Amino acid sequence: MTNLRLATLQGGNRTIVPVDSVKIGEGFTVIAGPCTVESERQTIETAIAVRIAGAHALRGGAFKPRSSPYAFQGLGLKGLRILQKAKIETGLPIVTEVVDSRDVFWVSEYADVLQIGARNMQNFSLLKEVGRSQRPVLLKRGMNSTIEEWLNCAEYILNEGNPHVILCERGIRTFEKYTRNTLDLSSVPAIKELSHLPIIVDPSHATGRVSLIPSLSLAAVAAGADGVIVEVDINPQEALCDGEQTLTPSQFADIVRKINGLHQFMAVSQ
Amino acid sequence: MTNLRLATLQGGNRTIVPVDSVKIGEGFTVIAGPCTVESERQTIETAIAVRIAGAHALRGGAFKPRSSPYAFQGLGLKGLRILQKAKIETGLPIVTEVVDSRDVFWVSEYADVLQIGARNMQNFSLLKEVGRSQRPVLLKRGMNSTIEEWLNCAEYILNEGNPHVILCERGIRTFEKYTRNTLDLSSVPAIKELSHLPIIVDPSHATGRVSLIPSLSLAAVAAGADGVIVEVDINPQEALCDGEQTLTPSQFADIVRKINGLHQFMAVSQ
Amino acid sequence: MTNLRLATLQGGNRTIVPVDSVKIGEGFTVIAGPCTVESERQTIETAIAVRIAGAHALRGGAFKPRSSPYAFQGLGLKGLRILQKAKIETGLPIVTEVVDSRDVFWVSEYADVLQIGARNMQNFSLLKEVGRSQRPVLLKRGMNSTIEEWLNCAEYILNEGNPHVILCERGIRTFEKYTRNTLDLSSVPAIKELSHLPIIVDPSHATGRVSLIPSLSLAAVAAGADGVIVEVDINPQEALCDGEQTLTPSQFADIVRKINGLHQFMAVSQ
Amino acid sequence: MTNLRLATLQGGNRTIVPVDSVKIGEGFTVIAGPCTVESERQTIETAIAVRIAGAHALRGGAFKPRSSPYAFQGLGLKGLRILQKAKIETGLPIVTEVVDSRDVFWVSEYADVLQIGARNMQNFSLLKEVGRSQRPVLLKRGMNSTIEEWLNCAEYILNEGNPHVILCERGIRTFEKYTRNTLDLSSVPAIKELSHLPIIVDPSHATGRVSLIPSLSLAAVAAGADGVIVEVDINPQEALCDGEQTLTPSQFADIVRKINGLHQFMAVSQ
């Protein structure tokens, strides 16, 4: 890969990103939670449910980049405070998106992991700003981005001094319309041979269909991913966004059980 | 899916395609062999090697659709006769491509499974002709084809009276250039929910890189595929085509061992 | 372009393809007619209408490659005989698709130009067969094909001894869904700098929308194309296929008038 | 188009965006200049050359979003001051990119038109910020964006109170590699039927090849675009970026001459 210095695999040492007591890149990490923080009750109940089911961290959006200005844009600071309460209730560290370089400093007060969404993958000002923060960064692959461009965006963050970047494959845009995007699982072994950074997989946004998430979560484990991030809500039918790709807590619990079994098998059998 | 009748999943009964003693759709089938039949020695030695490693069928091209008219086009009938000898030596059934509707009848004398390549997926004359043959058909997904179009091509074959269609995901064309194509593993659970037909995965053509094949073969197992088809050659460096994506027999043996372990685990743990 | 020999531009001499009295590659050629030959009345009335409006050749499908086996597949020989009558009525040469290598010989009795459709662009058996015929060939670009692959398919035809290949840009498949495909007008000057073959543009299939055809036809003229091929029907609303992209005779007449004006201006102003 | 309110064409009134004495959306506007402001001499000499050749505005980047953090990132404020001098020398209004929501206020002191680059098309914070400024905005289409998403981004700007949005088609990302991107000229008539906003075309970034720019500039005129934006430099071979797609002043002068002739013809002949 041209131009990569810091993100390149050298000598076999892989980065492990510490997030409270979770170590991303060691074992298999499951991040789960609602698409958007809509209310305290929804968020905390979902957080408790995913905690019980075995999640290691809570995801949830307070700032939502939406295609239309008239779609629900998230609760902002109020949403972050709800996430904070959910953390107090469950102990789960918080993964939440930041969308503006001006917000990085104060959002970091509430977030344990700063998520850079697919639409902002090449928002270089934002990358530099999270590169200057102390928080780990979850860098989603842009829906039109090559693996090379994606690693260069990680390089922007690393180059500012933040060594804690987690890559997240979430599907690329293609002509196929049965799925919302096309999950590119080849990127998992590709990243493993190119870079020392951990990589997790988001089958929710990649497929947009609940029915495909179990199989692709297991495929992510088998492909060598370091984790998955999935949308779970106590009430997917009433979710303000992404309901058709959001798992119920019991669907999620079933997947976690299968993931853990498979990951243990893979660890032993290698 | 619009317009599908025969290919649609109905009542949960899945098609099992018998190929000699192999049953595709029951257990996990491994098909392996050279990109192209180049010589008797290369083909038979490769056939023996993949047989020992655990392959259930031998693949090998006698007719090669090549982008350029000046590239090696395959040995034709001579190649089919070599495949026939390889079958006699190893007992492995033969999977080989047919590219012209005029050839279906006589190629069927040598082939146990007629392969329709990605470039011919919507060659409807050819689909109808293999639909009238007695041989099972391995239908590769076109590199620009949606899942819906692919299933409609299976419908063309089924509609002529041939019930034995095996679908093969081999990657779609996208902007990503690290891999030769983008393997769309979402198509595996998608096909499973839409159709009763078995589906196998071709990680060789999908990725174009030997290094990515092991992880993606395991991901295919975990995603629920019924098999894989991979390129193996006793001497990949000297292969006339696709050398960079062709496994050595020992690389292949290692993958088969891991596939079998994973498939057993998956069968037990569900 | 790798592997090209015969299709490459050498010394500035451009191929002009003679079709009856029409010379494709000299001046600007307009080919028009129904998507599919449905009846004698529809075809002949449309042929007369496009003749009056200024078309130089009549297009019409007797063999239709359709995604579903249950969609109307064309009238076959009966359709070809109708086209023959339309030619007798109007004097317009006939452009019609051939989809099976076994049909090339006898379809050539009725066709003045053999069309290879987008789905068959890499049906190499068919390319070789039309390469051995005496008829000019209209080679549509595959919807997933690079310019390089397309020229290599022309090379297949030229290499069999048929020098009369007309390239046809008809849009490529992308993520954009407002248009049926994405018309790649860059291919027009690209082909002009790479090859001596004439290139025409099909805005009907590229856009799938009547409203976009006038502007893109003019853009094709300005980009340097040698012609356009458009779908026209005396009764688009009742057409069995592609009605939403089919022009009425009066819409077509208006476009031809503008095309001719623009082409004259371009010829003078260079 | 779902969710559009302000960007939608209503009653046939089209927006004309005033930029100093230039009216974008009335007549045909030519914007030209270097990819990046590298030095005072380079910028001013180029500005004078494009002015003489007939450009109506000067483009030039002071902030460059680059794939790699180690690539030249632009001169920043120093670059803006050079653009200011170029404006004083030539009278040409300045079109320059802003990449960070924090910079909008002060960059507006130097820019007559604020450009939003393709990578930032869905940087909604930045869109809102330029929506609150008094400057016209040139909104480039994201390389993976549908027309619908692009218009929704214009809606973000309009919704903040800034009515002066100019859309810019600059090619989308596809599998084709002969060109840097695939110029989607269908978007020109599509935007004209969906929206009242003016649309210009960038053949430089779309093709990445000097040789294709003349034909596609003329195609843009014929398709009904309101202008073009092209890269011109007094010394393309020494440009720090995009040299292979940058015109010399004399190539540019030749294109402007042809564009003007064609636009006059089109205006008269309709």
| pLDDT above 80 (res C259) | yes
Residue range C11-21: average pLDDT? 94
Closest CA to A55 of A85, A24, A87, A33: A33
Interface residue C177 vs chain D (CB under 8 A): yes
The per-residue pLDDT for range B139-188, each reduced to its tens digit, is 999 999 999 999 999 999 999 999 999 999 999 999 999 999 999 999 99
CB pairs under 8 A between A and C: 6
| Total structural domains within chain B | 1
Q: Is A109 on the interface with B (CB under 8 A)?
A: no
Mean pLDDT, range C102-130, rounded to an integer? 96
pLDDT at B12: 81
- Closest listed residue to residue C190, CA positions, set C156, C149, C229: C149
Of D2, D70, D123, the CB nearest to A3: D70
The model's pLDDT over C136-158, given as tens digits with 9 standing for 90+, comes to 999 999 999 999 999 999 999 99
Hey, CA dihedral for B247, B250, B256, B258, is it positive or negative?
negative
Looking at the complex, does the CB of residue C175 fall below 8 Å from at least one CB of chain A?
yes
Q: What is the mean pLDDT of residues B21-40?
A: 97
User: Which range (B68-72, B252-256, D241-245) has the least confidence?
Assistant: D241-245
Distance (Å, whole) CA A17 – CA A27: 12
Confidence band, pLDDT 50/70/90 cuts, at residue C238: confident
Q: Do C3 and B68 touch (CB under 8 A)?
A: yes
Residues B261-267, mean pLDDT to the nearest whole number: 96
Q: What angle do CA D264, D267, D269 make, to 5 degrees?
A: 105
**Strand pairing category for B22-24 and B17-19:** antiparallel
Whether pLDDT at C269 is above 90: no
- Cβ-count burial of A261 within 10 angstroms (0-12 exposed, 13-18 middle, 19+ buried)? middle
The C-alpha of B176 sits at a distance from chain D's nearest C-alpha, in angstroms, of 8
Long-range contacts, D113-119 (Cβ 8 Å, 24+): D113/D19, D113/D57, D113/D137, D113/D138, D113/D166, D114/D138, D115/D59, D115/D140, D116/D140, D116/D153, D117/D65, D118/D142, D118/D143, D118/D170, D118/D205, D119/A122, D119/A123, D119/A124, D119/D65, D119/D143
Top residue of C144, C173, C175 to mutate, by most chain A CBs within 10 Å, is: C175
Instruction: Kindly state whether D178 is in contact with chain B, defined as any CB-CB distance less than 8 angstroms.
Output: no
* CATH number of the CATH domain containing D196: 3.20.20.70
**Helix (H/G/I), strand (E/B), else coil: B148:** helix
Which positions in chain A touch B172 (Cβ < 8 Å)?
A: 174-176, 182
Per-residue pLDDT at D2 exceeds 80: no
Is residue B132 less than 8 Å (CB to CB) from chain C? no
pLDDT per position as a tens digit, C161-216: 999 999 999 999 999 999 999 999 999 999 999 999 999 999 999 999 999 999 99
Tell me the mean pLDDT in the region A94-106.
Answer: 95
Average pLDDT, chain B: 96
Q: Using DSSP, state whether C207 is helix, strand or coil.
A: helix
Query: C-alpha D9: how far from its chain's center?
Result: 22
**What is the number of CB-based contacts under 8 A between chain B and chain C?**
82
Q: Which residues of C touch B124 (CB under 8 A)?
A: 65-66, 69, 99, 119
Residue C61 bridge partners (DSSP): C36
Cα–Cα distances (Å) from A144 to A119, A133, A179, A245, in that order, read 9, 26, 16, 21
> Is residue B2 predicted with pLDDT exceeding 80?
no
Cβ neighbours of A258 in B, within 8 Å: 269
Separation in Å, CA of A259 to nearest CA in chain C:
32
Whether C11 is in a domain gets the answer no
Beta bridge partners of D6: none
Q: What is the pLDDT of residue D1?
A: 72
Q: Is B10 domain-assigned?
A: no
Give A111-169 pLDDT, tens digit per residue. Answer: 999 999 999 999 999 999 999 999 999 999 999 999 999 999 999 999 999 999 999 99
Q: Is residue B234 part of a domain?
A: yes
pLDDT number for residue D270: 67
Neighbouring subunits of D (3+ Cβ pairs under 8 A): A, B, C
- Exposed (0-12), middle (13-18) or buried (19+): which is A119, by Cβ within 10 Å? buried
- The 10s digit of each residue's pLDDT in A202-229 is 999 999 999 999 999 999 999 999 999 9
Mutate to test the interface with B, among D67, D174, D175 (most CBs of B within 10 A): D175
- Give residue-wise pLDDT tens across range D78-125: 999 999 999 999 999 999 999 999 999 999 999 999 999 999 999 999
Mean per-residue pLDDT for C91-103?
Answer: 96
CA distance to partner chain C, nearest, from residue A145 (Å):
14
Are β-strands C137-140 and C113-116 bridged in parallel, bridged antiparallel, or unpaired?
A: parallel
Q: What is the pLDDT of residue D240?
A: 79
User: Distance from B253 to chain A by nearest Cα, in Å?
Assistant: 14
Q: Is residue D2 part of a domain?
A: no
With respect to residue C1, please indicate whether it lies within any of the assigned structural domains: no
Asked if the structure places residue A11 within a domain, the reply is no
Min mean pLDDT across A51-55, B78-82, C70-74 is at: C70-74
Tell me whether D174 touches chain B (CB under 8 Å). yes
Q: Note the pLDDT of residue A227.
A: 98
pLDDT tens per residue across span D145-200: 999 999 999 999 999 999 999 999 999 999 999 999 999 999 999 999 999 999 99
CA nearest D220: which of D243, D196, D189? D189
Q: What was the ipTM of the complex prediction? A: 0.96
Residue C2 lies in a domain: no
Is the separation of the CB atoms in A144 and B175 below 8 Å? yes
CB-based contact, B132 to chain D, within 8 Å: no
Mean predicted confidence (pLDDT) in A229-243: 89
Size of interface B-D (CB pairs under 8 A): 6
Please tell me which residue of chain B has the smallest CA distance to D172.
B175
C119–chain B Cβ distance below 8 A for any pair: yes
Q: Residue C119: phi, psi to the nearest 5?
A: -70, -25
Q: What is the pLDDT of residue D158?
A: 98
Residues of C with CB below 8 A from D223's CB? 215-216, 218-219, 222
- Residues 143-172 of chain D with CB under 8 A from chain A are 143-144, 148-149, 152, 155-156, 159
CB contact under 8 A, C175 and D222: no
The residue type of B43 is T
Which residue range(s) make up the domain with D169? 17-269
**Where are the extended beta strands (E) located within chain C?**
17-19, 22-24, 29-33, 57-59, 94-97, 113-116, 137-140, 165-169, 199-201, 227-231
Query: If we measure between CA atoms, which residue out of A127, A102, A107 comes closest to residue A62?
Result: A107
d(CA B236, CA B242): 8
**A149-165, pLDDT tens digit by residue?**
999 999 999 999 999 99
Note whether B70 contacts D: Cβ–Cβ < 8 A. Answer: no
Q: Do B215 and A223 touch (CB under 8 A)?
A: yes
Residues 6+ away with beta carbon under 8 Å from C156: B69, C124, C127, C128, C131
**Amino acid type, A224:** G
From chain D, pick out residues whose CB is under 8 angstroms from the CB of C221: 222
Q: What rounded mean pLDDT belongs to chain A?
A: 96
D223-260 per-position pLDDT tens digit: 999 999 999 999 998 887 778 899 999 999 999 999 99
Which residues of chain D have a CB within 8 Å of the CB of A165?
Answer: none
Q: Which amino acid is at C118?
A: A
Please determine, for residue D71, whether its predicted confidence score (pLDDT) is greater than 70: yes
Q: Which residues of C touch A174 (CB under 8 A)?
A: 175
**What pLDDT does A270 receive?**
67
Asked if A178 has any chain C CB less than 8 Å from its own CB, the reply is no
* Residue B270: pLDDT over 70: no
Q: Which residues of B touch A261 (CB under 8 A)?
A: 269
Token reading at C16 = 């002009």
Residue A240: the pLDDT is: 79
Task: Count each helix (H run) and each strand (E run) in chain D, helices first.
Answer: 9, 10
Indicate the pLDDT class of residue C242, thresholds 50, 70 and 90: confident
Residue D9 forms part of a structural domain: no
> How distant, in Å, are the alpha carbons of A228, C69, D177 from that of B140?
30, 18, 24
The overall average pLDDT reported for chain D is: 96
C231: its two tokens: 């779908």
